[in-house]
Chain A
Amino acid sequence: MTSLVEFFNALGKYDFLQIALLTAVMVGIMSGIIGSFIILRGMSLMGDAISHAVLPGVAVAYMLGINILIGASIFGVLAALLIGFVAARSKIKTDTSIGVVFSAFYALGFILISMAESSTNLHHILFGNILAVSDSDIMTTAVVLGIVILFVVIFYKELLVTSFDATYAKTYGLNVQVIHYTLMLVLTLVTVSALQTVGIILVVAMLITPAATAFLWTDKLDVMLVLSAVVGVVSSITGLYFSYTFNWASGPAIVIVAALLFAISFVFSPKQNFFKLQRSVAK
């Protein structure tokens, strides 16, 4: 209990902790929301793929002297388009297509970086630490969170229908492709902005784990979105508390808490029915 009091004291005293908390909460909300759509569409590893595929964009942006966020976003969207294109135009499924495209992009990024001959290590420019988030990165995160919320509110019905039944959506007259690629664009924005603030493990985990946890509890999309954001926020706050108290690296601490919440839901959620399943297996 004393450690809890200490944590709140430190929160009042150190603004690096306040900033870390604010950032973690914003990232928790936006990746919880976008993550829900991603896992419903069976594209859980898309976030992982995009976070690696942006590397050539970083190198090109560095060489041309433009904002890294712009370069990274262009290559992120390009990778998402290519993954979709390969999966749609061949017998290859999405998971394989993700594997081929993102590793190729990542490799291209490595070669471009060695050509850029930069003194700072470009691989690391992208991979932020939540304890050292710059003011401009927070503003970017806030704007992206705003875009995510607006996007989901405006296109809620379309996203709902296309996530659950693409064929029905087509007969209903919706342009499934346009919605898919807009979602990919928003996902790229979320991934790239979160990479800079919280680092790669946290991005991938925050996109998948809270949404997966929420999915264990509900079948309704609106409930799932809210629950997923809440799980993201709770993991962020609790993880940061553990990180401060035990001096753990902050990103991994948040990931572990999210995974614990998932494990608890896995066992106790009535929808998941873990105990009943065990019993029937035993019989």
Chain B
Amino acid sequence: MKKIIITLVGVIAMISGVYFFLHSRENNSQELADGDKLRVVTTNSILEDMVHNVGKDRIELYSIVKRGTDPHEYEPQPTDVSETVEANVIFHNGLNLETGGNGWFKKLVKTSHKSFDEDVFSASKTVVPKHLTTNVNEEDPHAWLDLANGIKYVQVITKVLKDKDKKNASFYQANADKYIAKLEKLHKTAQSKYLGIPESQRLLVTSEGAFKYFSAAYHVTPAYIWEINTEAQGTPEQMQSVLAKIRKTDVKHLFVESSVSPKSMEKVSKETGIGIYSKIFTDSLAKKGTDGDAYYSMMKWNIDHIYDGLAK
């Protein structure tokens, strides 16, 4: 009996010890000291490239999800967490990209004691969201595939950087103006590019339904096997519906995304006898040094390859 009482006391002491430990912690918000570079963390390589184009060498930049990895679902590594703790500003895509799925980003923000809109910002804040068709309450995250939205991302990023690091404000603004002009030019050419292809051929077939924004901006019709990477991929029903859509049109080629397994699309290609033209980029940039390793070159790659694949 005595042993049980001693254990009980020990157990209660342990639980209350843990409780007091949890409640004695302080919050750590990072203030920018003089002479220090602004530390910026982005969730994926596309945002990383945008921030790099605005901040250049006057910021320290770290990107969490590595190139070629799917940002919908990710498990942060120790460095990801410590970089986030140390960061002054954190950019994420928003629109459910990082907070859907296993919600890893929300947990990361909580673990590193940051707060949304104070030091964590959504780059898509000013974008008009499109919604999923299977679940209308949910936003489609892939807004950056429309360059007009990409420009909005850059504007949001620039405004935040200017606020957080006032002494470099004009530097950031000048970089952003130059970058936005470049993106705008590409956007203009893409808007009229596809109109020359007969409408019955203008069906953009991909694995994930990531091209809603792209399609609306550049006048193609999207078709996909599954709508978003977090849901079941390649069920019989999904296969049937994409095959039916393809058979109604004269589409010449299919496409597969760089960060998705090509298996399902290969099956569609076999069923229909239509070849896969090339890979295109959605959630991640290409490896450094290869074609498509920046937001601009990735969009250019997509626009050119999709055009060639649909026209030929």
Contact = CB atoms under 8 A, between A and B. Distances in A.
Contact of A142 (B8, B14, B108, B230): B14
A247 B77 contact: yes
A248 interface: yes
B82 interface: yes
A89 interface: no
B11 interface: yes
Q: Max chain A CB contacts within 10 Å: which of B7, B11, B76?
A: B11
Contacts of A163: none
A146 B76 contact: no
B3 interface: yes
Given A132-B108, A150-B11, A153-B7, A142 B18 contact: yes
Nearest to A120: B103
B129 to A, nearest CB: 14
B37 interface: no
Contacts, number: 98
Interface string B3-45: 1100110111011001101100100000000000000000000
Contacts of B73: 121, 124
Interface stretch (A9-17, A38-46, A78-86, A215-223): A9-17
B15 A143 contact: yes
Given A14-B85, A119-B96, A127-B102, A146 B15 contact: yes
Nearest to B10: A149
Contact of B137 (A15, A17, A119): A119
Given A22-B18, A139-B19, A150 B8 contact: yes
B138 to A, nearest CB: 5
A145 B14 contact: yes
A142 B15 contact: yes
A16 B85 contact: yes
B111 interface: yes
Contacts of B22: 135, 138-139
Interface residues of B, number: 40
Contacts of B79: 247
A243 interface: yes
A125 interface: yes
Q: Max chain A CB contacts within 10 Å: which of B14, B78, B135, B232?
A: B78
Contact of B77 (A14, A125, A150, A249): A249
B198 to A, nearest CB: 38
A129 B7 contact: no
A134 B112 CA distance: 11
Nearest to A250: B78
Interface in A217-255: 243-244, 247-250
A139 B81 CA distance: 22
A154 interface: yes
Interface string A177-195: 0000000000000000000
Interface string B82-114: 100100000000001000111110011011110
Contacts of A212: none
Interface string A89-122: 0000000000000000000000000100101110
24 contacts: A14-B85, A19-B111, A117-B135, A119-B100, A120-B100, A120-B101, A121-B230, A131-B76, A131-B111, A132-B110, A132-B111, A138-B18, A139-B19, A139-B22, A142-B14, A142-B15, A146-B12, A150-B4, A150-B7, A153-B3, A153-B4, A247-B77, A248-B78, A249-B77
Interface of A: 10, 14-17, 19, 22, 26, 114, 117, 119-121, 124-125, 127, 129, 131-135, 138-139, 142-143, 145-146, 149-150, 153-154, 243-244, 247-250
**Top 8 A-B residue pairs of the complex, sorted by shortest distance between their CB atoms:** A124-B102, A132-B107, A146-B11, A142-B18, A153-B7, A132-B111, A247-B79, A244-B78
